[in-house]
Structure 1
């Protein structure tokens, strides 16, 4: 048995602060200690209370002067879009044709996929992201490479090969039959291995035939712990296209529901141009939204109404959506989420922000029993934030008089430089 005791200021959330109130939902220990046993959390609290009970064999790791919190959870990101991040000037559908599909075509090459997968995961760790729901390309090789690299690092990654058998270039097209076969082979090889999970991944309804969506729904129903990961209502032209393709559907969500893809394991990225009764149905089925403010702003897609979604009880997590998103940093994503919420008429509270980036994301991905906070028995994925990462951050934090103000400043001024260490299952996998 390996016991570690991590010293430093500690912050985490026990629940949604808007549901039960910040006093009940948050825990902050200015002089705290996190006790780990074989990669799992065994205690979290004040150092003065926990330190006397440590045995003589415990390893002490001192991060005094820093802030320790659970690792970030990215609920929507495309690992094959590394080399097209910050591509100029297009809206969603043109952007896919001009940049995305040519870039993704390269992932038929296993060597390219492996090199990108390793860089991608190191970039996640450098930015403090310890778990993610990840899109691959249509090529089985892309997900083989990603899962292999994630398994070596012990990361909790859920991913799937993209399914798209129509309305896309030949180089990034599968068939309904081959997509189903490839998905099943990947599930057999990787799902449940280490901390890996598989997501059935239709690109979006316009890129998938009825046969392909039918097979995706059947696969999701057959294996009860798979996720389903897709896009919905990101762009107005996309919405019009879906109406043309599915004139008998009540709305975009109804298309997915028709094929058995609206479940409590479904994660829909974006959901900007929808609301009301659609959110009501999502909540009734336990589906989740990945809110991707950075990419929505970058592509000019629109502003997600977080308050509207949560009014109906929809689970919401945050996604960087690289490569339309322009940063792997969840801190920078919180920065953009705050601004989007302001434009939609409400200020996003810092406690709520960090809930979305940690425990809220874990709930959206159905992994809150494993990660998301420091409750006893959770996997010990956590990050250490450097409170003097930049001269401006150091100066501004000196004026903070409360943890909520500190968190807000971190979300406005923080970025990859703020992450000094990232731990996966109690082992340091990144150190600045």
Structure 2
């Protein structure tokens, strides 16, 4: 018989006292009370692992579960009870761990969070107090310098006014004297007074004409402050609300460049594969492009991601910048119309009107911020990640300016 080796139930109708009949009694005892097989009418005393359901002995031996692995239902139920007991023990241990965590860890975490938050507030307050005090002291120092420069300029103007008033009086007196000589002296008297006339005229010739003097102008450099410069640039370029929404003007993009759909990324392509229609605004030789919007006054800032490129130029230019040909008139930094910060491999520099100034950097910036103050006459290039001013240049701008870009390696992207 196969019952003992395979787990099959004994054959239905086996002889009493035989090995099969001895196993049949437990089957009936272990069957589902009140439930029987719909097909064979026998008790469901076995469990089919394949069908995952109770079956009768006939189903297991000859029916749909023939050849499947079957076990006594009581054995299956006992195994399931053991698993449930194990699961209950796990749940109890899990509940105990959670209870202990809630009782012991969370209160400590809560206290730790309160302490950390209190410390963080104190740090913020103390640092801002320090920054505020430094700013107030710097404000006082700079205002005093402004006042002193204003007083110096005022005194210089008063001194000049007094000097030239005295000179006018001398010239007026000399003129009156000369008119009197001509009017009242006869020929003999006029000739006799020649030496006196010569001496007085010679004294008048020592009074020079007024000349432009820097002493009469307010010196704007008196308010130059590295601290204020750094704080101002950091405040504008490190704050997203201070940045302009800048896009590249597709009409100006060189055929050497490909412009992304969002008008923010320029990709260099040395073979001029981009089929842009020709127009007067487009650069046809240098890999340049302008921004869409011109700035007429005020302070404006934007950031460019440059970490993918080893050859680029960023800055500003007048709208009158030449667009056609290989000459310097269209080359950024080589004419009076453009001011750019550039990188070529490991070399960085600022260029304007063919004047180049090397910029020494410890590391290559991942982003470059451009900050232009049209009213104050300054363009500034900034590393927003390191909070470092890369270069600044003062210029009295005479026309609206445009953001300008050039890239000769990989790509650069405007950051918003």
Normalising by structure 1, what TM-score?
A: 0.22
The higher relative CO (CA closer than 8 Å, separation ≥ 6) is in 1
Structure (1/2) with the larger strand percentage? 1
Higher Rg: 2
